[in-house]
């Protein structure tokens, strides 16, 4: 079964300094028909205004993945990662970077856009961990466009396979860039959930046309086909069944 969710159907919040589209129920946006897919609970497309950001706040028992599309995001946490006060500091996430923070038993962190004249555009992704009470942790890796060009590169997985970041969850994330004749196929386990989120551009997915911000859920399917890309960037999630 294939279910489409158009970009315009997502929740939206405008806080002035932060503009955010919510794929699933989050904060003041509540839709009982869209609470998540499998163990995927949050896909927020956020834009942070220059010189602003999320102040220090707490999380627990969640795997949080950040995927920056444009600009930079300075991360600082109670584990000692990031200085949070410089664009050049360790812990700054830029396009091509994938950051994983395991909240586990509890962690405090902040995220800030220090640029004076450029917004930060990124995806905030939350996954339920395989168990509660894990030790908090942090990991950040860079994936060049070349490794994603015309293919689905593994960027997050339960075992860190293929150089991906390790998420302590029954889930994996692949990222790909497709344009023109570039295409890819991926065998699917019909007992699991597949969730496709088109970051930008246009892309044909299993003969359905997707545009920036659109998403597709696949259950009971055995093959994913990506083709007809128009400057497309896509994330593909393999998720526990529900």
Q: Which neighbouring-strand residues pair with 217?
A: 3, 195
Per-residue confidence (pLDDT) for residue 193, from 0 to 100? 97
Per-residue confidence (pLDDT) for residue 84, from 0 to 100? 45
Predicted confidence band of residue 90 (pLDDT cuts 50, 70, 90): low
Q: Which comes out higher in pLDDT, residue 89 or 221?
A: 221
* DSSP result, the chain: -EEEE-GGGSEEEE-SSEEEEESS-BTTB--TT-S-BTTEEEEEEEEE-TTEEEEEEEE-S-EEEEEEEES-EEEEETTS---SS-TTSTTEE-TTEEEEEE-TT-EEEEEEE--SS--EEEEEEEE--SSSSPPPEEEEEE--HHHHBTS-EEEEETT-GGGPEE-SSSEEEEEEEEEET--EEEE--TTSEEEEEEEEEEEEETTEEEETT-EEEEES--EEEEEEEEEEEEEEEEE---
**Interatomic CA distance for residues 210 and 189, integer angstroms:** 22
Q: What is the pLDDT of residues 19-63, one digit of tens each?
A: 999 999 999 999 999 999 999 999 999 999 999 989 888 899 999
Question: Above 60 in pLDDT, residue 89?
Answer: no
**Interatomic CA distance for residues 195 and 174, integer angstroms:** 11
- Tell me the domain boundaries of the chain: 2-239
Nearest to 114 by CA among 79, 148, 142, 86: 86
Q: What is the pLDDT of residues 105-163, one digit of tens each?
A: 999 988 999 899 999 999 999 999 999 999 999 999 999 999 999 999 999 999 999 99
Predicted confidence band of residue 86 (pLDDT cuts 50, 70, 90): very low
Per-residue confidence (pLDDT) for residue 87, from 0 to 100? 41
Predicted confidence band of residue 85 (pLDDT cuts 50, 70, 90): very low
Per-residue confidence (pLDDT) for residue 77, from 0 to 100? 83
Per-residue confidence (pLDDT) for residue 55, from 0 to 100? 86
Per-residue confidence (pLDDT) for residue 239, from 0 to 100? 97
Query: What is the CATH T-level fold of the domain 2-239, as seen in this structure?
Result: Jelly Rolls (2.60.120)
Q: Which residues contact 137 (CB under 8 A, 6 or more apart)?
A: 79, 100, 101, 102, 104, 168
Predicted confidence band of residue 83 (pLDDT cuts 50, 70, 90): low
Q: What is the pLDDT of residues 163-215, one digit of tens each?
A: 999 999 999 999 999 999 999 999 999 999 999 999 999 999 999 999 999 99
Q: pTM (2 decimals)?
A: 0.94
């Amino acid at each position: 079964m294939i279910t489409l969710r158009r970009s315009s159907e997502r929740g939206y919040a405008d806080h002035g300094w932060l503009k955010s589209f919510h794929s699933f129920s989050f904060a003041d946006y509540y839709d009982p028909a869209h609470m998540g897919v499998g163990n995927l609970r949050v896909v927020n497309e956020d834009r942070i205004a220059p010189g602003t950001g999320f102040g220090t706040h707490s999380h627990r028992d969640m795997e949080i993945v950040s995927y920056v599309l444009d600009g930079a995001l300075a991360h600082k946490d109670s584990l000692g990662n990031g200085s949070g006060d410089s664009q050049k500091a360790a812990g700054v996430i830029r396009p091509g970077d994938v950051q994983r923070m395991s909240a586990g038993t509890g962690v405090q962190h902040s995220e800030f856009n220090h640029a004076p004249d450029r917004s930060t555009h990124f995806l905030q992704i939350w996954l339920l961990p395989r168990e509660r009470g894990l030790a908090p942790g942090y990991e950040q890796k860079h994936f060049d466009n070349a490794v994603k060009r015309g293919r689905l590169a593994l960027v997050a997985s339960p075992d860190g396979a293929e150089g991906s970041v390790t998420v302590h969850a029954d889930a994996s994330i692949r990222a790909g860039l497709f344009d023109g004749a570039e295409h890819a196929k991926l065998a699917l386990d019909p007992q699991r959930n597949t969730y496709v989120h088109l970051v930008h551009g246009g892309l044909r997915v299993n003969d359905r046309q997707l545009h920036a911000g659109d998403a597709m859920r696949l259950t009971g399917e055995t093959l994913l086909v990506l083709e007809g890309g128009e400057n497309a960037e896509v994330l593909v999630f393999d998720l526990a069944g529900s």
